[in-house]
A and B are shown apart, each in its own frame.
Chain A
Amino acid sequence: MQLQKLIKKEVEVVDKGQITLPKQLREKLHIKKTDILILEELPGNKIVLTKKEDIDPLDKLLEFIKTMPKIDLSGAWEEVKTERKKDWREDED
Chain B
Amino acid sequence: MKYCSDTWFLIKLYEKEEKAIEIIKEIRFGKGRLIIPAVVYTETGRKLMKRGVSLKDINAFFENLFNSNKIEFIVIDKSISDEVIKLCNSFNIAIMDSFIAASYKLFDCDFLLSGDSDYDLLVKHKYLKRKSW
Contacts and interface: CB of A to CB of B under 8 A. Distances in A.
Do A and B assemble together? yes
Interface of A: 32-34, 56-62, 64-66, 68, 70-73, 76-77, 79-81, 84-85, 87-88, 91
B16 A70 contact: yes
A46 B66 CA distance: 37
A31 B108 CA distance: 37
Interface of B: 7-8, 11, 13-16, 21, 24-25, 27-28, 43, 47-48, 50-53, 56-57, 60-61, 64-68, 70-71, 93-97, 115-116, 118
Main secondary structure of the interface of A (DSSP, over half): helix
B25 A62 contact: yes
A73 B116 contact: no
A85 B52 CA distance: 24
Contact of B65 (A61, A71, A80, A91): A61
A84 B97 contact: yes
Most chain B CB atoms below 10 A, which of A32, A68, A77, A88: A77
A87 B96 contact: yes
A65 B11 CA distance: 12
B11 A87 contact: no
B41 to A, nearest CB: 13
Contacts of A68: 14, 57, 61
